[in-house]
Chains A and B, each alone.
Chain A
Amino acid sequence: MVKKDAIIIGAGPVGLFAVHQLGIKGLESVVIDNLDKAGGQCIELYPDKPIYDIPAVPECTGEELTKNLLEQIKPFKTDFFYNERVDEVRQDKDNWIVKTNNKNEFIAANIIIAGGVGSFEPRKLQLKEAEKFEEKSIFYAVKDKEKFKDKDISIFGGGDSALDWALELSKFSKITLIHRRDEFRGAPHTLSEIKRLEKDGKISIKTPCQLDSIEGDNNIKAITIKFDNEKTEKIKTDIILSFFGLIMKLGPIAEWGLNMDKKTIAVNSENFETNKKGIFAVGDICTYPGKLKLILSGFHEVALASVECFKRARPNEKYRFEFTTSSKNIQERLGKK
């Protein structure tokens, strides 16, 4: 089990800045996130959309903001655990123990939940029978291409993931690309490649239509799609790949005994502690009177929460407020002196 001063759940902008605010106070943290990289909603939902309300940054994209925050916290050499979801939180005297779905365990006096609207998970097919084929014949991501060789594959979706995988897998499998409308949204060269492969008979495109039913016992044998004009068509299919983006799920957080208000966690606005001593909630996931879901509010919240974290992690030391401009301690921690 790894001992730290704080465990941060969520590597979005607010989680990243929490590393900074703890770090300049000499506190070590670890960050856990269900995605495969830092940035949270900024990276997953709007990497290219400009943000105009980060103080002193007139304009930056979600991707730039994430990159800059990672640069800002570099001196603290923090460990990040990606692709892991916190499943369990339990108390151990004055500490908290956190366990992930990958069986990693951490212990710390503080947990900072910077979980946004929850962890990102693939948006699944709505058909009832889809569930039993999951990970056998239905996949929401391609991890090992070998599994998809010499098959009849039906790909659902109209965005980059659907198009890119249609191209890639068409090299060794028979692809049907199915979308609810005629337009696809992808890089121009990808789109022209798809059109070329359609002409060559390597990819079959079906629009505007949606999945109607699935046939098969253990594995899928065929699917039926329904066009907008109500016509249906049966397509021989071994594998369905579905790319409808990601959805945010609150997940196990709801079961940790925290005071919840719908999908948010109630905190006090002095130090953003929840009803459990040593568990803090910051950013989009917390709520208090007047709460605004802004990145800049999250930055303020972690600054205040980190003070209480210090008091809990160093009960025998006195907390001294310091400025980064003048504090030798802070500058040393930042590797500037």
Chain B
Amino acid sequence: MPKITYIDNQEKSKTIEVENGLSVMEGAVQNNIPGIDADCGGSMACATCHVYVEEKWFDKLPKAEDGEVDMIDMAIEPKKNSRLSCQLIVSDELDGLIITTPSKQS
């Protein structure tokens, strides 16, 4: 199973095996990663699952669609490497992905 590393808003890092097909958000919620609330349940409507993706991974991800970029406008402290973790679907290609949650989120 692909391993995803979540660096949470207390700067603690946790590496978790997440099943293929789940979103990076679901992996976080199931494992109680702080800072990823996912209030809207993954419908790209709340920006509470906003994360920063480590640079070298950012370019490897499928591009964000317009709706996601619009929603990132609403997120807390968006950066160039911002994504909504509900839109990142785990696959073997993402094995080793590292994401960080914004410090002030949630």
Chain B contact surface mostly: loop
Which residue of the partner chain, among B39, B73, B77, contacts A181 with CB atoms under 8 Å?
A: B73
Chain A residue nearest to B32 in the complex (CB): A262
Interface size of A in residues (CB-CB distance below 8 Å): 25
Give the interface residue-count category, chain B: 10 to 19
A interface footprint on B58-89 (CB within 8 Å = 1, 0 otherwise) = 00000000100110011011101000000000
A123-B74, A157-B73, A159-B70 provided; 13 other pairs, C-beta below 8 A? A46-B45, A117-B39, A117-B40, A118-B39, A126-B76, A126-B77, A126-B104, A158-B70, A159-B74, A179-B73, A185-B73, A247-B39, A284-B41
B77 CB contacts on chain A under 8 angstroms: 126, 210
Cα-based distance from A51 to B46 in the complex (angstroms): 17
B interface footprint on A137-171 (CB within 8 Å = 1, 0 otherwise) = 00000000000000000000111000000000000
Determine if A41 is an interface residue (Cβ-Cβ < 8 Å): yes
B31 CB contacts on chain A under 8 angstroms: none
Determine if A293 is an interface residue (Cβ-Cβ < 8 Å): yes
Closest 8 CB pairs of A and B: A45-B45, A245-B74, A117-B39, A244-B74, A158-B73, A248-B39, A185-B70, A293-B41
Number of A-B contacts (CB under 8 A): 47
Determine if B10 is an interface residue (Cβ-Cβ < 8 Å): no
B30 CB to nearest A CB, Å: 12
B70 CB contacts on chain A under 8 angstroms: 158-159, 185
A227 CB to nearest B CB, Å: 12
Residue contact A159 to B39, C-beta cutoff 8 Å = no
Determine if B48 is an interface residue (Cβ-Cβ < 8 Å): yes
Could you write out 7 A-B pairs with CB less than 8 Å apart? A45-B46, A46-B43, A117-B39, A123-B76, A159-B70, A185-B66, A247-B48
A181 CB contacts on chain B under 8 angstroms: 69, 73
